[in-house]
Amino acid sequence: MVNGFDKSRIDQLPPKTRQQVEDRDRLLGPGYRLFYEDPVEIVRGAGTLLYDADGNDYLDVYNNVTSVGHCHPYVVDAVYRQLSTLNTNTRYIQQSILDYSDQFLGTMPAELGHVMFTCTGSEANDLAMRVARYHTGNQGVIVTSGAYHGLTSDVSAFSPSLGVGVPLGPHVRTISAPDLLRHGGNENLVAVMRREIQDAIADLERHGFGVAAFIADMIFSSDGIYPDPAGFLQPVIEEVHNAGGLFIADEVQPGFGRTGQHWWGFQRHGLVPDIMTTGKPMGNGTPIAAAVFRPELLVEFGRNIRYFNTFGGNSVSIAAAQAVLDVIENEALIDNAKKVGDYIQAEISKLAVNYDQIAEVRGAGLFIGVDIVTDRESNTPDGDATLRVVNHMRRRRVLISASGPRGSVLKIRPPLPFSLGDAERMLQNLDHVLAEELH
Ligand code: PMP
């Protein structure tokens, strides 16, 4: 029920696509997945649009990797100039990484004072957990039941969304996602989360692991997108701190202004994490990611452990990241995320009134989820209907996807320069598709 191409349908693809899918299998092996019933071949991107080989444009309502828009000329130019000048690593003094780090840390509360660079979000979470374990002396990890935090052997062991093929580590416990709809109101949600985290902590202690960290995606993207009520995590974090554990805010999804109003998802919740990790949107497609720490956490770790990451923080990635920060500021993209995101959410909420199968429209800024169910009485997630909507939107050249453990939440997460005009195009298509698919 995930948004992926089903290989048993290969005979229904046009000859060229079929050949490419077979070549992928032959060359890349069986581990890879493609989006959509009819996979899309993309040859070019610009702003919020992607183009196929025939020149058709697709509205990109999904990418937060190219967060400031595909092939943004300012980023392209910065990368080109740096690649033509110097590309080396953190063992040499370079002013650019210092200037960037200063500005980057300046977007955060003062308590977060050191940044360490990696190439991927997975690596950032891996490093964050190493530091958490080193600092606390504990081994246990608590995550939400549908979390994804990455692909290394350590991090995949606390990424339950990878499914039963990737067993959770013996030192990992899960708590429910903050599903307001199904937990029945704010107070109940907070009470349920507090009780579940207490149970998880007690169980980790009983098994001798203790709690190194509670790590959570600050918009609970793979759990099904849960932004509200802002502040609901405070009691959970108090419990973790009381048990000697740390709170790691995974900002790979909501970070860099996507939620509107703030740079970081944790700021919506009025929290200051012990460690923050980010990645995807940081370099507009150039591999760069980071873990950010309260300095006291790194004192011992840094004294005793050498950190060198060949590509992490290389000159070109830093140039890309600097350009991304500049573009977010120069083009007021955080304000745009709020303005356009609020508009989309309000318009989809109006459409939703007509459908018993839309249980909730929720989101923050340009990260919106539409919860699709069999009916509003039972609120049973309906992944099949959601997939029909996603694939029909794709046929109309509007690219969205689905999230949540049953793939039953439409995931609307476009590049940050998404305009009101782009929103109109998306909404008109959604109106048509919902009418056809949810009846
Ligand atoms: N954390 C979250 C919340 C993510 O969504 C992802 C990627 N989807 C990661 C971590 C891992 O990032 P990467 O793919 O760059 O390793």
In the chain (439 residues long), the average pLDDT of successive 10-residue segments reads 87 94 96 94 98 97 96 98 98 98 98 98 98 98 98 98 96 95 83 96 98 98 95 95 98 98 96 98 98 98 97 98 98 98 98 95 98 95 97 98 97 98 98 94
User: Ligand 1, closest atom to CA 150?
Assistant: 11
CA of 354 to the centre of ligand 1 (A): 35
Q: Is 36 exposed, middle or buried (0-12, 13-18, 19+ CB in 10 A)?
A: middle
CA of 253 to the centre of ligand 1 (A): 7
- Please provide residue 336's backbone torsions phi and psi, each rounded to the nearest 5 degrees: -65, -40
The whole-angstrom separation of Cα 79 and Cα 365 is 28
**DSSP codes, 59-111:** EE-S-SSSTT-BT-HHHHHHHHHHHTT----TTS--HHHHHHHHHHHTTS-TT
Contacts of 64 (CB under 8 A, 6+ apart): 253, 258, 280, 281, 367, 413, 415
User: Ligand 1, closest atom to CA 151?
Assistant: 16
CA of 377 to the centre of ligand 1 (A): 34
- The pLDDT of residue 196: 97
User: Ligand 1, closest atom to CA 280?
Assistant: 15
CA of 435 to the centre of ligand 1 (A): 34
Bridge partners of residue 214, in order along the sequence: 142, 247
- The pLDDT of residue 1: 60
122 lines ligand 1 (CB under 6 A): yes
280 lines ligand 1 (CB under 6 A): yes
360 lines ligand 1 (CB under 6 A): no
Beta strands in 238-382 (DSSP E): 246-250, 275-278, 289-293, 358-363, 368-372
- The pLDDT of residue 2: 81
253 lines ligand 1 (CB under 6 A): yes
The whole-angstrom separation of Cα 169 and Cα 252 is 22
The whole-angstrom separation of Cα 51 and Cα 123 is 31
Identify the sign of the CA torsion 351, 356, 357, 362.
positive
- Atom 14 of ligand 1: nearest residue by CA position: 121
User: Ligand 1, closest atom to CA 123?
Assistant: 16
Contacts of 246 (CB under 8 A, 6+ apart): 132, 135, 136, 212, 213, 214, 240, 274, 275, 297
- The pLDDT of residue 182: 86
CA angle 347, 397, 407 (to 5 degrees): 65
- Atom 2 of ligand 1: nearest residue by CA position: 149
Which residue carries 């830093």 as its tokens? 318
Identify the sign of the CA torsion 387, 250, 348, 354.
positive
Contacts of 219 (CB under 8 A, 6+ apart): 225, 226, 227, 253, 254, 258, 259, 265, 364, 367
149 lines ligand 1 (CB under 6 A): yes
283 lines ligand 1 (CB under 6 A): no
150 lines ligand 1 (CB under 6 A): yes
CA of 280 to the centre of ligand 1 (A): 7
Element (H, E) at 117: strand 114-118
Q: Which residues of 179-216 are buried (b: 16+ CB within 10 A; e: fewer)?
A: bbbebeeeeebbebbbebbbebbeebeeeebbbbbbbb
CA of 13 to the centre of ligand 1 (A): 30
The whole-angstrom separation of Cα 278 and Cα 104 is 11
398 lines ligand 1 (CB under 6 A): no
217 lines ligand 1 (CB under 6 A): yes
252 lines ligand 1 (CB under 6 A): yes
121 lines ligand 1 (CB under 6 A): yes
Ramachandran quadrant class, 88 (left: phi over 0; alpha: psi -120 to 50; beta: rest): beta
Ramachandran quadrant class, 225 (left: phi over 0; alpha: psi -120 to 50; beta: rest): left
Farthest CA pair distance, the chain: 62
- Atom 10 of ligand 1: nearest residue by CA position: 149
- Please provide residue 373's backbone torsions phi and psi, each rounded to the nearest 5 degrees: -130, 170
What pTM was estimated for this model as a whole? 0.97
- The pLDDT of residue 112: 98
CA of 238 to the centre of ligand 1 (A): 26
- The pLDDT of residue 186: 78
Coil, strand or helix: which one is 41?
coil
- The pLDDT of residue 183: 83
CA of 123 to the centre of ligand 1 (A): 9
Distance spanning both ends of the chain, measured CA to CA: 20
